[in-house]
Amino acid sequence: MLTETFMGILKALRCPKCGWESPARTTFRCSFCSAVLEAIVEIDYLSKSHLLEIRKRTDQTIWRWFEFFPIEDRSAVVSLGEGYTPLIKAARLSEKLRIARLHLKNDTVLPTGSLKDRSNSVGLSKAKELGFETAAVVSTGNAAASVAAYSAAAGLNSVVMVPKGTSLSKMLQACAYGATVVVVDGDFDHDVAGLYKNAVREFGWYDCLSTNPYRDEGKKSYAYELLDQLGDDVPDWIIHPTAGGTGVYAMWKGYNELFSLGWIDRLPRLVAAQSEAAAPIVAALEKGLTDIEPVAARATVAESIQVGNPISVGWRALEAIRSSKGTAVALTDDEILEAQSLLARLAGIFAEPAGAVSVAAAKKLREKGLIARDGLVVCNITGHGLKQPSAIKVSDEELRPIAPDLNALRRRLADK
């Protein structure tokens, strides 16, 4: 039988580059090479009987798989119902893209409307367990709202920094959860991130970025959920909207954990989908680099993935893509907006542009012949369209009121 203590057995915080292990649970970077540490959770004791036991649980959140997460005190778990989002077979979109077995992992329905809830449920649970009082994040929006929500649930204060120009919808959402929202006038990768780094050190805040090895564990949950939802089948391709690279790296870790236990017999190929205005992972892969070269992120409709310098775990995402025999794709704003429209009109999912970039990548890879027509493809849809409603362009004429009579209605319908 499985343990009833609801805990993950945290073996170490280990450097993935040089192997150094931190003696402290609050040290997030290697003292020798400065790499972000990795949470090593003890899972070797798990067997196939444990998998059967996990599947008997009624919990439909990421915590159904609590043995795989580095939380050692059950009372510290902070959950808003995250995880087990719908995996949709969208027949009309499949036909349009000519991918017969296309599935959409709809993370727009997560508690705060984006994939960040997977990370922050784990990250803020650890913050509570470690006794922090204030959590912080620098973000282009989605992480800000998620950190604020999970901090509120955990009873922690929260401070979020966003660059000037961030969607008002995202900032208001963070404010609603009680966060202190600080709007900074400056370049995100340099000015805003630099101020944030100094503030975390000065005020002793709990860092909720991908520099935090605990919160990085949350996105492993994709692998566990897909194992259940696909009936033990493994996708040929998983396409993920990518900024810093945590999602790609964490999914690869999750799948390798399942593989090491003998619970799956093969691994998926991973695709990082980026805006061409901020595509450092695509560039590094094309150049054959082992690390990321920062780029100057330009303005893009996919504002949630507008990161030019994924310094924390970008290299690990690159490593995961290569190890999985996957790839990375850069999409134009026009391609992204087309995918957002197709997703809404053919599958009934309203995603923000960054959340739809996986569909744009699937379309492009299918057209190039890299994805086969009968391939099993999962597109992660990572953020709700109401996060960035301004991306939808509707003419004033289309919303102009009509007179309350059938002739006016006929004219309006004819215009459509």
Q: What is the pLDDT of residues 70-91, one digit of tens each?
A: 999 889 999 999 999 999 999 9
Per the listing, tokens 């609050």 go with 26
Q: What is the pLDDT of residues 392-408, one digit of tens each?
A: 988 888 889 999 999 99
**What span, in angstroms and rounded, lies between the C-alpha atoms of 258 and 224?**
8
Among 296, 117, 131, residue whose Cα is nearest residue 219: 117
Per the listing, tokens 């082992």 go with 290
**What span, in angstroms and rounded, lies between the C-alpha atoms of 233 and 123?**
29
Sheet containing 206-207: order of strands: 180-184, 157-163, 134-138, 206-207
**What span, in angstroms and rounded, lies between the C-alpha atoms of 238 and 248?**
9
Rg (Cα) of the chain, in Å, rounded?
A: 21
Q: What is the pLDDT of residues 56-67, one digit of tens each?
A: 999 999 999 999
Which DSSP string corresponds to 227-293? HHHTTT---SEEEEE-SSSHHHHHHHHHHHHHHHTTS-SS--EEEEEEETTS-HHHHHHHHT-SSPP
**What span, in angstroms and rounded, lies between the C-alpha atoms of 247 and 239?**
10
**What span, in angstroms and rounded, lies between the C-alpha atoms of 292 and 285?**
9
Q: Which residues are within 8 A (CB) of 261 and not within 5 positions of it... i.e. 6 or more apart?
A: 43, 46, 47, 51
Q: Which CATH class is domain 87-113+217-391?
A: alpha beta
Q: What is the pLDDT of residues 315-359, one digit of tens each?
A: 999 999 999 999 999 999 999 999 999 999 999 999 999 999 999
**What span, in angstroms and rounded, lies between the C-alpha atoms of 200 and 148?**
16
283 to 177, 211, 277, 287, 315: CA distances (angstroms): 37, 22, 11, 6, 12
* Confidence band for 5, pLDDT divided at 50, 70 and 90: very low
Between 142 and 13, residue with greater pLDDT: 13
* In contact, 222 and 254? CB cutoff 8 Å: yes
The two structure tokens encoding residue 343: 């997703």
Is pLDDT at 3 greater than 60 in this prediction? Answer: no
Neighbours of 3 (CB within 10 A): 11
Burial 247-282 (b: 16+ CB within 10 A, else e): bbbbbbbbbbbbeebebbeebbbbbbbbbbbbbbbb
pLDDT of residue 7: 67
Residue 401 CB burial class (10 angstroms; 0-12, 13-18, ≥19): exposed
Q: Please state, for a pLDDT cut of 90, what percent of the chain lies above it.
A: 88
The two structure tokens encoding residue 362: 């699937």
Is pLDDT at 118 greater than 80 in this prediction? Answer: yes
Q: What is the pLDDT of residues 295-310, one digit of tens each?
A: 999 999 999 999 999 9
* In contact, 213 and 188? CB cutoff 8 Å: no
Bridge-based pairing state of the strands 206-207 and 87-89: unpaired
Region of 348 (left: φ > 0; alpha: ψ -120 to 50; beta: rest) is left
Half-sphere exposure of 275 (CA within 13 A, CB side): 26
Helix or strand or coil: residue 329? strand
The pLDDT of 81-110, averaged and rounded, is: 98
Between 5 and 148, residue with greater pLDDT: 148
Among 143, 84, 146, 140, residue whose Cα is nearest residue 109: 84
Q: What is the mean pLDDT of the chain?
A: 95
Neighbours of 57 (CB within 10 A): 12
The pLDDT of 238-259, averaged and rounded, is: 97
Q: Please state, for a pLDDT cut of 70, what percent of the chain lies above it.
A: 98
Is pLDDT at 2 greater than 70 in this prediction? Answer: no
The pLDDT of 141-153, averaged and rounded, is: 94
Among 89, 147, 140, residue whose Cα is nearest residue 116: 147
Is pLDDT at 165 greater than 90 in this prediction? Answer: no
The residue ranges of every structural domain in the chain are 87-113+217-391
**What span, in angstroms and rounded, lies between the C-alpha atoms of 13 and 214?**
9
